[in-house]
């Protein structure tokens, strides 16, 4: 993963985790992911991005993603959204709000069908 992709992945996880309120398990997962990817600054940036206006953070992130992700391959777009889906499953469930948010992003990224196929597996 290059540095831009790391930033996208960290923001994607952070904004989805914050969608219903970040819990301790999710915070730990974000910190661990940032450490593994050597992306601690990207996590800090993501928290600042979200805290600028929590209520609009998801929609602002959608705009950011759509500007950046257009050049990504379909496989990479699918992989990014699937990694976040799997991370949400670590807690044992995905909330309806989280699922809806990921479906919106998958639709934006033209990988809705791929996400649904992955979820059904």
Please state the domain extents for the chain: 3-120
48 alpha-carbon distance from chain centroid: 15
Residue 47 has pLDDT above 80, yes or no: yes
87 CB-side CA count, 13 A: 25
d(CA 107, CA 97): 15
Is residue 11 within 8 Å of 64, Cβ to Cβ?
Answer: yes
When pLDDT is averaged across residues 27-45 and rounded to a whole number, the result is 95
Residue 92 has pLDDT above 90, yes or no: no
pTM for the full model?
0.88
84 alpha-carbon distance from chain centroid: 5
Residue 95 has pLDDT above 90, yes or no: no
């Amino acid at each position: 993963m290059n540095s831009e992709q790391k930033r996208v992945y960290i923001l994607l996880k952070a904004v989805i985790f914050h969608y219903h309120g970040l819990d301790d398990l999710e915070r730990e997962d974000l910190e661990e992911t940032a450490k593994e990817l050597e992306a601690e600054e990207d996590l800090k940036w993501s928290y600042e991005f979200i805290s600028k206006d929590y209520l609009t953070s998801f929609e602002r992130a959608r705009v950011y993603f759509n500007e950046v992700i257009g050049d990504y391959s379909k496989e990479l777009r699918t992989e990014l959204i699937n990694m976040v889906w799997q991370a949400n499953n670590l807690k044992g469930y995905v909330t309806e709000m989280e699922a809806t948010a990921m479906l919106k992003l998958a639709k934006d990224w033209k990988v809705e069908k791929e996400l649904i196929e992955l979820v059904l597996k």
